[in-house]
Amino acid sequence: MSFLPTVEQRSEVIERAINIEWLMALVICQHYFRMLRSDFLFEVLYDEYFNFGLKVAIILKICKPATQQEQDLRRVGRIRNQFAHLGPHVATSAKPSDFFVPDPHKPDQPVDFESLYGEFQSLTGRVEEFLGQALLATGGQLSTEPPFPT
């Protein structure tokens, strides 16, 4: 069991959460404007204070997801936050293998990043599928091409 996330795990969780946040932004734009509006996307939805949780709240109003879909979406955000923000490491001895990140709800216990990573992996496909379907339902489309000229 690993009590410290690897750089690769942390990076993958954050990158995949960014992709999920992008999908949420596309659904929001499509719902309110029936098109992708770059000014709204970059000036409003990508403002530093327009966080993942606020996007989730709007998605829940737009899509009215099933309870499990809502729980999955919220859980992805919580796991992302744990990988992005939890620290510092606590040393229980001089050996690096004894370092751990305390769980904020049970500070005497370490966060089990390995389990969180596995849970994140199991949730993201369902969340991405839900958001992709929501985008299509609002008249949007999925593409492998960037939406804006580069």
User: Could you read off the pLDDT tens digit of each residue along the chain, which spans 150 residues?
Assistant: 555 667 888 899 999 999 999 999 999 999 999 998 989 999 999 999 999 999 999 999 999 888 999 999 999 999 999 888 876 666 565 555 667 777 788 877 888 888 999 999 999 999 999 999 999 998 888 777 766 655
pLDDT at 140: 86
Burial (CB count <10 Å: 0-12, 13-18, 19+), residue 120: buried
At position 140, the amino acid (one-letter code) is: G
pLDDT at 68: 93
Query: Rounded to whole angstroms, how far apart are CA atoms 45 and 26?
Result: 9
Triad 66, 79, 106: Cα angle to 5°: 115
Helix (H) or strand (E) holding 28: helix 7-33
pLDDT at 87: 66
List all residues 6 or more positions away from 65 whose beta carbon is below 8 Å from its beta carbon: 59, 73, 130
CB atoms within 10 A of CB 100: 18
pLDDT at 100: 72
